[in-house]
Structure 1
Amino acid sequence: MIPTETIVALATPSGAGAIAIIRLSGKDAIALTAKVFVSVSGKDLTKQKTHSIHLGHIVDNGKTYDQVLVSVFKNPHSYTGEDVIEISCHGSTFIQQQIIQLLLRRGAKMAQPGEFTLRAFLNGKLDLSQAEAVADLIASDNEASHQIAMQQMRGGFSNEIANLRQELLNFASLIELELDFAEEDVEFADRTQFNELLIRIEFVLKRLIDSFAVGNVIKNGIPIAIVGEPNVGKSTLLNALLNEERAIVSDIAGTTRDTIEDELVIEGMSFRFIDTAGIRETTDHVESIGIKKTFEKIEQAQVVLYLVDSSQLSVVGSQLSVEKLKSDIEQIKNKYPHKSLLTIINKKDLLSAEMITKLEKELTTDNGQQQTLFISAKNKIGIDELKQTLLSFVNTGALRNNETIVTNSRHYDSLLKALEEIQKVKWGLESGLSSDLMAIDIREALFHFGEITGEVTNDELLGNIFANFCIGK
């Protein structure tokens, strides 16, 4: 049952500011506000057109609380699909509280987290994936996550899922019809067309599932661990990247004993840098704990920056010996095969051009790949090149091409389950399985599609989703 009582909440962040917006929604929102609003021109608020704004005062028993602007949005042409009022008052926390308390005394109910958006969903103004995108949009803190949230809020993802679901539903109806005429042994669903549809659905589902790896890191930031032996310049590199003195820098080995994390946005993409304790054999108990945390952070990272001090590379004759370095790099690759690894030779200013050329040649892999950069963290040489290299680790092609990217773990789980059922149907079709058995798997696939857009919901699911919203949205 869709709730109809009038709810109220502060729609702007709590605290003092220039203005604040108090939002009401429900069947009595306009009438209730009219009881405490006195227009400067004597207008009756209940008789005003939708999408109109009115200047006046909030008054109760002869006491004026504030001069305000009242915006009127009549159903169904509002965010929630109900009558909505937005009161723009001055941003004093005292004024905000006084007006909200007055509206509560007049019969409004305090809104729960996400209740306005929940009503928009229940009244058909948004589907469930679009409603979740509202929360993502509010939480977006970089251009990439904002772009994805906007695309999903406009219905890009839900439209794609809804179209696939409708096509599958059409064939499901024909399959179900065949069950009613089982004794006549007739086929209403063209098996060739059905197989083509299943292949297409499988392709789209796999693409959406694969996009989650990119979408998840865009939404939460790409974690990057800066690792290496003590005193090679890890903290100096972090400071150079952030352009501030975030980490303590010292010539004393083992200065960094705990992980230091900070975030940097590069061309709209968020990166979380983790400066770790230097890796070495030590008897210091505290430093040992820090080194243990270093390995934990490497496990959590998507990209590992392995920093090497050029002055610590041993020189044999006129050749730089890098056998140990190559061995260390190989060990990291073997231990963390699914991590992107970038070797960074620090203190580039101490190397001659000839030595850099030799090192580049030595560190180039058999297949011609060279994941090595030369920088000077102290002098900020090569930092811009490093940032561009980090961007290349993120597959942003889908973002640039405005393709659908999945960022929500609930959607990801439903897509995986839908794919499993589609593959069962596909196998059944190829194996000549009876229509009644295929119909079971088709229903399950339709169920999981419906979970994403909200055709299939329950109170527990809605409660879990909207509990994460801020109050007033």
Structure 2
Amino acid sequence: IDGVLFRFIDTAGLRSTDDTIEALGIDRSYDKIDKASLVLLLVDALRIADEDYRAALLQLLPRLENKPFLVLLNKVDAIDPQTTQAVLTDLSSLLTEYLPSGEAPSILPISAQRGDGLDELRAALIKALALPELKSTDLVVSNARHHALLTTALHSLRTVRTGLTDGLPTDLLTPDLRGAITAIGEVTGADITSDSVLHNIFAHFCIGK
């Protein structure tokens, strides 16, 4: 969107449940929310008056403290303009009362079915994740191929780090580390010796603990 790459993750619906399987899915949703750079809180305009729905919404709000988020009121195509305004007012009051900040958030009325409000949503996404001004000392990767290689290397190294922390056998981690070394070598042009890197890294970890 406007040159910024977004990765959207659609989580499971959030509500109180006694079902073990559903609860696991909800826990994974909360984990994704905690790790997200930006949260899109999608509210159903047809269900906002439902007490269980409101309770589930309020349960989520504390997790949004100190995190950028946008509130989207969906299905406004199913209600008239007067009702839409009443729902917006009600939702704004609810969020203001229960958000840790106590500040009224902006709410975007949209219709996923008709596409209403999507231009405003695109603009809001860019504004919410505005990139900081680059400094003269900042490193910028302008080559798309180099960016892809460095991203691959980063992913592989994170996998290796997690595996070492969890005590996985080194032979299971070696392919990821070799992949990272190869990717970095293609960017720098340097001849990095895989065996020396492997020996240096594994020598600093207590494998098997």
Instruction: Report the TM-score, using the length of structure 1 for normalisation.
Output: 0.26
Paired position in structure 2 for 1:312: 47
Question: Given the alignment, which residue of 78, 83, 104 partners 1:350?
Answer: 78
Paired position in structure 1 for 2:109: 374
Deviation at 1:282, TM superposition (A): 3.9
* 1:274 counterpart SS class: coil
Shift in alpha-carbon separation, 1:350–1:472, aligned structure 2, 3 A: same
Deviation at 1:407, TM superposition (A): 6.5
CA distance in 2, matches of 1:466, 1:369: 50
Give 2:43's aligned amino acid: V
Question: Given the alignment, which residue of 3, 12, 23 partners 1:288?
Answer: 23
More strand by share: 1
* 1:469 counterpart SS class: helix
* 2:185 counterpart SS class: coil
CA distance in 1, matches of 2:79, 2:137: 44
Give 1:384's aligned amino acid: D
CA distance in 1, matches of 2:113, 2:70: 19
Shift in alpha-carbon separation, 1:294–1:352, aligned structure 2, 3 A: same
CA distance in 2, matches of 1:368, 1:392: 18
Does structure 2 retain, via aligned residues, the 8 Å contact 1:360–1:370? Answer: no
Paired position in structure 2 for 1:300: 35
Total equivalences in the alignment: 143
Paired position in structure 1 for 2:166: none
Structure index of larger Rg: 1
% identical aligned pairs: 29
Shift in alpha-carbon separation, 1:276–1:387, aligned structure 2, 3 A: same
Does structure 2 retain, via aligned residues, the 8 Å contact 1:310–1:345? Answer: yes
Paired position in structure 1 for 2:4: 269
Does structure 1 retain, via aligned residues, the 8 Å contact 2:73–2:107? Answer: yes
Question: Given the alignment, which residue of 360, 375, 382 partners 2:88?
Answer: 360
Does structure 2 retain, via aligned residues, the 8 Å contact 1:333–1:341? Answer: no
Q: How large is the Cα RMSD of the aligned pairs?
A: 3.5
| Structure 1 unaligned spans of 5+ | 1-265, 315-320, 409-463
CA distance in 1, matches of 2:15, 2:128: 28
Shift in alpha-carbon separation, 1:396–1:467, aligned structure 2, 3 A: closer
* 2:33 counterpart SS class: helix
Paired position in structure 2 for 1:385: 120
CA distance in 2, matches of 1:404, 1:354: 51
CA distance in 1, matches of 2:63, 2:103: 22
* Residues 252-263 of structure 1: pairs in structure 2 closer than 5 A: none
* Residues 3-402 of structure 1: pairs in structure 2 closer than 5 A: 266-314=1-49, 325=54, 331-362=59-90, 363=92, 365=96, 369-396=104-131, 398=133, 402=134
Shift in alpha-carbon separation, 1:333–1:289, aligned structure 2, 3 A: closer
Q: Which runs of 4+ in 1 moved over 6 A?
A: 321-324, 464-467
CA distance in 2, matches of 1:351, 1:380: 15
Give 2:184's aligned amino acid: N
Deviation at 1:358, TM superposition (A): 2.2
Shift in alpha-carbon separation, 1:310–1:467, aligned structure 2, 3 A: closer
* 2:39 counterpart SS class: strand
| In the alignment, structure 1 residue 470 sits paired with structure 2 residue 154 | no
Does structure 2 retain, via aligned residues, the 8 Å contact 1:309–1:345? Answer: yes
Instruction: Report the TM-score, using the length of structure 2 for normalisation.
Output: 0.55
CA distance in 1, matches of 2:71, 2:119: 16
CA distance in 2, matches of 1:287, 1:407: 44
Cα deviation, 1:107-156, whole Å, max 9, x if unaligned, reads xxxxxxxxxxxxxxxxxxxxxxxxxxxxxxxxxxxxxxxxxxxxxxxxxx
Cα deviation, 1:276-301, whole Å, max 9, x if unaligned, reads 11123445544333222111101110
Paired position in structure 2 for 1:237: none
Shift in alpha-carbon separation, 1:313–1:472, aligned structure 2, 3 A: closer
Does structure 1 retain, via aligned residues, the 8 Å contact 2:45–2:87? Answer: no
Deviation at 1:329, TM superposition (A): 5.1
CA distance in 2, matches of 1:283, 1:322: 18
Higher relative contact order (CA 8 A, sep 6+): 1
CA distance in 1, matches of 2:66, 2:139: 20
Shift in alpha-carbon separation, 1:391–1:281, aligned structure 2, 3 A: same
Deviation at 1:393, TM superposition (A): 0.7
Give 1:339's aligned amino acid: K
Deviation at 1:324, TM superposition (A): 6.7
More helix by share: 2
